[in-house]
Amino acid sequence: MDLISWITQMVDGSFITIKLFFIVILFSLPLGLCITFFYTSKNIIIRKITGAYILIMRGTPLLLQLFFVFFGLPYIPFIGKYLTFDRFPAGAIAFIFNYAAYYAEIFRGGLLSIDKGQYEAAKVLGLSKWQTTYKIILPQMFRVSLPAISNEVIILVKDTALVTAIGLTDLLQVTKTIVNRTSNIVPFIVAAVFYLIMSYILTLIFKKLEEIFAF
Amino acid sequence: MDMINVKNLKKSFGSLKVLKDINFDVKKGDIIAAIGPSGSGKSTMLRSLINLEKADYGDIIIEGKYLCKKGIYAKEKDAKQICSKMGMVFQHFNLFPHMNIRKNLITAPLLQKKDSKAKINELCSEMLNKVGLYDKINEMPSNLSGGQKQRVAIARALMLNPDIMLFDEPTSALDPELTQEVLNVIKDISKDNMTVIIVTHEIGFAKEIANKIMFMDNGYIIDFGNPHEILDNNKNERIKSFIEKVM
């Protein structure tokens, strides 16, 4: 196996890793925000259901959830055949639902940190509930949540490697195959450097975001 | 017409009765200072007027309209309309920390489409000049001193052109040396034909600007009237001892 071929394979694998990463971020952040709203809802039934969801997502291994979606769902009687996913969508679904639970808890922490005086000031200034939420509360919530979100996003970069276990040809899977074939340790080091660079770039981006939204 | 009428107002937090039977009227242009010991219900009384606390019983009438009638509140939309005649300033300023000073002032009038954006910005400059902070227009609240924050909070409330201004211990969170600048601004406002109710521990200031003093204790208004009668040589032992302590 020549150098050019393993480099192109690793580049392809990186693209799958990056694609998975962005899709998960794109869907899990808004989903997490929705879950936060459900979890802070006045309706006790909605609150209980959301609480159970968060407990399950945070209380069971992500790897199990991956297996559950990819290998498990198709075995459900009657509806299983509609729940059969390819490797990539299966991986994305498991990650999105898992990470959304963590983001929801981070956002909820952000909400709790906001002084009730902010709500009162908005009320006496005649802002509606919706205006208060999106003009006053959400921007402050995001700002407070940024460091924790940053942490979670960097963990996601590395967690994406778990999809190797369901046979998706992400960076780690490709690397492992090349190492096996070439009996060479270098691909592992290259992959490590790739994850490191991605984490570093994200660290820089979040630092910048924290500066921009500082108050 | 009176600006505010309050009748038989009662309010409890759990088993703690905070307001027991509050009655008073506010005339246009009145500057009322509510004084009294901590826990006497002054702040709760003030917050009830602008619907931040829900009374359990009684009437609250703002400019002739019932915010609350025998403990039953107007519909949310009507309540909002009734309360829009009032502005409020809090002990802890409650500026929006993620917005600069200009945005703090213009956000509410813009959202309510009070006027064109240009007019609102013009008003913003005018109000900041009034409280002497025009040079801070692009600063973030975190870069301001406590006294400056409170002056901004006052300007922000004035942006909505209220008929009545409510101040809830506006200088209690400030260093003594920053208190005066805020009191000066309140003094200015009280000359503008504004109706003001201020909950305060600054008895000297109350005496200086108020035309009426409301003395509250233990959920009741003990005395309400002329500052001289209440603050100088009061016969009531409770009031006398309080004033001797704080003066």
B180-201 residue pLDDT tens: 999 999 999 988 889 999 999 9
Closest CB from B83, B88, B107 relative to A135: B107
Query: Which residues of chain A does B86 touch, with a Cβ-Cβ cutoff of 8 Å?
Result: 124
Q: Does A130 touch chain B (CB under 8 A)?
A: no
**Chain B interface residues (partner A, CB cutoff 8 A):** 50-52, 80, 83-84, 86-88, 90, 92, 94-98, 107-108, 111-112, 140-142, 156-157, 160
Would you state the pLDDT for residue A1? 58
- Please name every residue paired with B60 in a beta bridge, in sequence order, or none if there are none: B6, B68
What is the pTM assigned to this prediction?
Answer: 0.89
Question: What angle do helix axes A3-39 and A44-59 make, rounded to 10 degrees?
Answer: 150
Helix (H, G, I), strand (E, B) or coil at B34: strand
Cα A144 → chain centroid = 18
Q: Where are the beta strands (DSSP E) in chain A?
A: none
SS3 B16: strand
What are the beta bridge partners of residue A154?
A: none
Q: Return the structure tokens found at B196.
A: 């003001």
Q: What is the pLDDT of residue B16?
A: 93
**Ramachandran quadrant class, B225 (left: phi over 0; alpha: psi -120 to 50; beta: rest):** left
d(CA B135, CA B143): 12
| Residue A21 to residue B142: CA distance in whole angstroms | 36
Per CATH, the homologous superfamily of domain A21-169 is: MetI-like (1.10.3720.10)
**Mutate which of A123, A125, A140, A145 to disrupt the B interface (most B C-beta within 10 Å)?**
A125
Q: Position A42: which residue type? A: K
Type of residue found at A105: E
Model confidence pLDDT, tens digit, residues B203-213: 989 998 999 99
- Cβ contacts of residue A197 below 8 Å, gap of 6+? none
**Out of A115, A120, A213, whose CB is closest to B52?**
A120
Contact at CB, B140 and A215, closer than 8 angstroms: yes
**Average pLDDT score over residue span A7-30:** 95
Contact A99, A152 (CB under 8 A): yes
Residue A215's pLDDT band (boundaries 50, 70, 90)?
confident
Question: Which CA distances in Å does B135 have to B125, B132, B139, B146?
Answer: 10, 8, 9, 16
| Measured CA distances, A59 to A55, A62, B2 (Å) | 5, 9, 61
pLDDT digits (tens, 9 = 90+) for B104-162: 999 999 999 889 999 999 999 999 999 999 999 999 999 999 999 999 999 999 999 99
